[in-house]
């Protein structure tokens, strides 16, 4: 997609002499070279990781370049079963799925009421949410540990879901607020005139209209929650409740001491594949929503 290719008069072309055309090509050439080098820096490590995930430990240690002797999925099986990556994967899906659903629902409800109703403290709540967006989670992590302990929900998956929701809420509200603000007032008023209550107006009229805006926020929330590290590491310490990022981190702490490099690479690939698939499927929409997000 090039920037501004609208069909405009081409007359100004004449301003450029032949001499500049050569320089022009050089600049474009340099641009391609620079960008291609970056593309290699991005892709090469990922390909290397993928390749290494098919090698056994001796192959990995003997040469970082050699292709795997045979393509076998032993490392994946070991990672999935012996290193419990399978269990962590399922936990992650449950936690991220549950938190994503709840945060989108609660976020939409909260931003709708902030955007469409007037009541005292409305802007106060909005700014409080903004503050929650900028404060470092690190400041909250210690007391949060004990809040959850006292509520008896530390080390449980529902507990982790609730914390994920609470910390993803400010971002969600911040973006959906602007979105609900932009929806036409007439729609909700018409619904209310027709006798729909506040609940029905929201769920049958406003929420369906908000779905396109919510989709992009949901993608960003998915990436953010799937990548979440500090919250589970500090609050979710029981091994059978671990999520993927903790499983990966445990490889880190083992590293150096009889490390099973092969299954480490495999675990990395297992963690990356779902996110990469989501990204490739939604990359057009994601880029559109980045555009929206920057206009705030």
Partner 1 sequence: MTATSQDPGRALAVGAGPTPGGRKAPRRRRRHPLTLDYVSFFVMFLGLPLGLFLVFVIWPFAQAAYYSLTNWTGFSADFDVIGVSNYLRLFNDELFRTAVWNSARLALVVPLVTISIALIFASLITVGGSAKGNIRGLAGSDFYRVVSFFPYAIPAIVIALMWRLIFDPNIGLINGVLTAFGLGQFESYPWLGRVATAMPVTMFVIIWGMVGFYMLLFIAAIKGVPAETFEAARLDGAGRWRTIRSIILPLIRNNVQTAWIYLGIIALDGFVYVQALNPTGGPANSTLVMSQYLFRTAFTDGRFGLASAMGVVLALVTLLFAAIVFSVNRALGGRDEKGSSG
CB of 293 to partner 1, least distance (A): 8
Rounded CA separation 185/203 (Å): 15
**199 lines the binding site for partner 1 (CB under 8 A):** yes
> According to CB under 8 A, which one of 205, 210, 248, 266 is a site residue for partner 1?
248
CB of 94 to partner 1, least distance (A): 17
Contact 40, 57 (CB under 8 A): no
**258 lines the binding site for partner 1 (CB under 8 A):** no
Binding pattern for the stretch 59-98 against partner 1, x by CB under 8 A and - elsewhere: -xx-xxx---------------------------------
CB of 70 to partner 1, least distance (A): 19
CB of 116 to partner 1, least distance (A): 10
**Matching residue, tokens 């997609």:** 1
Give, as ranges, the residues between 100 and 139 that touch partner 1 (CB under 8 A). Answer: 106-107, 109-110, 112-114, 117-120, 122, 125, 128-129, 132, 134-139
CB of 195 to partner 1, least distance (A): 11
Contact region with partner 1 (CB under 8 A), list: 70-78, 83-91, 206-214, 243-251: 243-251
Rounded CA separation 143/230 (Å): 14
Binding pattern for the stretch 25-64 against partner 1, x by CB under 8 A and - elsewhere: --xx--xx-xxx-xx-xxxxxx-xx--x-------xx-xx
**Number of amino acids touching partner 1 (CB under 8 A):** 114
Contact region with partner 1 (CB under 8 A), list: 71-79, 80-88, 197-205, 209-217: 197-205
Rounded CA separation 248/243 (Å): 9
CB of 97 to partner 1, least distance (A): 16
Give, as ranges, the residues between 217 and 236 that touch partner 1 (CB under 8 A). Answer: 223, 226-227, 229-230, 234
**203 lines the binding site for partner 1 (CB under 8 A):** no
**204 lines the binding site for partner 1 (CB under 8 A):** no
> According to CB under 8 A, which one of 187, 190, 275, 281 is a site residue for partner 1?
275
**147 lines the binding site for partner 1 (CB under 8 A):** yes
**183 lines the binding site for partner 1 (CB under 8 A):** no
DSSP conformation letters of the chain: --S-------GGGGGS-HHHHHHHHHHHHHHHHHHHHHHHHHHHHHHHHHHHTTS-HHHHHH-SSSPPSS---HHHHHHHHTT-HHHHHHHHHHHHHHHHHHHHHHHHHHHHHHHH---TTHHHHHHHHHHHHHS-HHHHHHHHHHHHHHHT-TTSHHHHHHHHHHHHHHHHHHHHHHHHHHS-HHHHHHHHHTT--HHHIIIIIIHHHHHHHHHHHHHHHHHHHHT--HHHHHH---GGG--HHHHHHHHHHHTTSS--HHHHHHHHHHHHHHHHHHHHHHHHHHHHHHHHHHT-
């Amino acid at each position: 997609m090039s920037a501004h290719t609208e069909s405009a008069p081409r007359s100004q072309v004449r301003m450029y002499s032949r001499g500049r055309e050569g320089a022009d090509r050089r600049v474009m050439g340099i641009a391609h070279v620079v960008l291609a080098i970056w593309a290699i820096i991005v892709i090469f490590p990922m390909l290397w990781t993928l390749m290494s995930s098919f090698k056994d430990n001796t192959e990995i240690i003997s040469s970082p370049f050699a292709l795997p002797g045979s393509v076998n999925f032993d490392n994946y099986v070991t990672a999935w079963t012996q290193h419990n990556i399978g269990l962590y994967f399922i936990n992650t899906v449950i936690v991220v799925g549950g938190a994503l659903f709840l945060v989108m629902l609660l976020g939409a409800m909260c931003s709708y009421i902030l955007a469409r109703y007037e009541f005292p403290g409305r802007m106060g709540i909005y700014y409080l949410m903004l503050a929650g967006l900028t404060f470092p989670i690190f400041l909250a992590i210690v007391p949060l540990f004990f809040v959850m302990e006292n509520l008896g929900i530390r080390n449980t998956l529902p507990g982790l879901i609730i914390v994920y929701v609470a910390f993803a809420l400010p971002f969600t509200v911040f973006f959906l607020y602007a979105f609900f603000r932009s929806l036409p007032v007439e729609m909700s008023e018409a619904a209310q005139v027709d006798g729909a209550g506040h609940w029905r107006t929201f769920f049958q009229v406003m929420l369906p209209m908000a779905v396109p805006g919510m989709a992009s926020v949901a993608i960003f929330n998915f990436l953010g929650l799937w990548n979440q590290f500090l919250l589970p590491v500090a609050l979710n310490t029981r091994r059978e409740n671990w999520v993927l990022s903790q499983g990966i981190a445990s490889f880190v702490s083992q590293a150096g001491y009889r490390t099973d490099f092969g299954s480490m690479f495999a675990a990395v690939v297992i963690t990356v594949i779902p996110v990469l698939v989501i990204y490739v499927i939604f990359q057009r929409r994601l880029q559109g929503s980045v555009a929206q997000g920057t206009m705030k």
